């Protein structure tokens, strides 16, 4: 094991956008059946359009966030501690504008990590 925390902060990485894409068979809803991949694509596209895809923000697919719904995908943004359920691709621009600003100028601004 190698801790690389200092390296990550030196590169300025501060925010994680986690998009649930969990797929499972069973009686409970899962994000793969509720736009998970399309929401992930929309997040990446929004960041690319603003030229900040490779910036402070890491976008990652994640397993179940405990917000399962058949109406949309679960998204979490950390370390801001923001959690969303029922996210559709159409919701993504407004969600990210609210968190990062319309032109993504608030990347890492609200980070609590030191
Ligand atoms: S399957 Fe996505 S939050 Fe549970």
Q: Is residue 21 part of a domain?
A: yes
Per-residue HEC secondary structure of 30-85 comes to CHHHCCHHHHHHHHHHHHHHCCCCCCCEEEEEECCCCCCCCCCEEEEEECCCEEEE
pLDDT at residue 110, as a whole number: 53
- Residue of 19, 27, 31 with the most ligand 1 atoms within 8 Å of its CB, for mutation: 31
Domain of 67, CATH number, reads 3.40.30.10
pLDDT at 27 over 50: yes
Q: Is residue 52 part of a domain?
A: yes
Q: Is residue 6 part of a domain?
A: no
For residue 46, the enclosing domain spans 12-86
In angstroms, the CA 67 to CA 55 distance is 27
Q: Is residue 53 part of a domain?
A: yes
| Single pTM value for the model | 0.91
Paired residues of 57 in beta bridges: 15
Local confidence band at 16 (pLDDT 50, 70, 90 cut-offs): very high
Q: How far is CA 34 from CA 14, 69, 78, 97, in A?
A: 28, 7, 22, 22
Which is more confidently placed, 111 or 64? Answer: 64
Q: Is residue 42 part of a domain?
A: yes
Q: Is residue 93 part of a domain?
A: no
Q: Average pLDDT, stretch 11-23?
A: 92
Number of domains the chain contains: 1
Tens of pLDDT along 32-91? 999 999 999 999 999 999 999 888 899 999 999 999 999 999 999 999 999 999 999 999
- Residue of 18, 19, 20, 72 with the most ligand 1 atoms within 8 Å of its CB, for mutation: 20
The first and second tokens of residue 39, run together, are 């929401």
Residue 95 Cβ contacting ligand 1 at under 6 Å: no
pLDDT at residue 107, as a whole number: 86
Residue 42 Cβ contacting ligand 1 at under 6 Å: no
Q: Is residue 56 part of a domain?
A: yes
**C-alpha 100 – ligand 1 centre gap (Å):** 24
Paired residues of 59 in beta bridges: 17
The first and second tokens of residue 71, run together, are 């109406």
């Amino acid at each position: 094991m190698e801790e690389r925390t200092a390296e990550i902060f030196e590169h300025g990485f501060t925010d994680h956008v986690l998009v649930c894409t969990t797929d499972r068979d069973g009686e409970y809803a899962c994000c793969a059946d509720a736009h998970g991949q399309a929401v992930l694509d929309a997040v990446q596209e929004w960041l690319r359009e603003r030229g900040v895809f490779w910036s402070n923000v890491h976008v990652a697919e994640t397993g179940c966030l405990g917000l399962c719904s058949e109406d949309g995908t679960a998204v979490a943004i950390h370390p801001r501690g923001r959690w969303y359920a029922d996210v559709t691709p159409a919701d993504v621009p407004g969600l990210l504008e609210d968190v990062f600003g319309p032109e993504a100028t608030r990347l890492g601004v609200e980070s609590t990590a030191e």
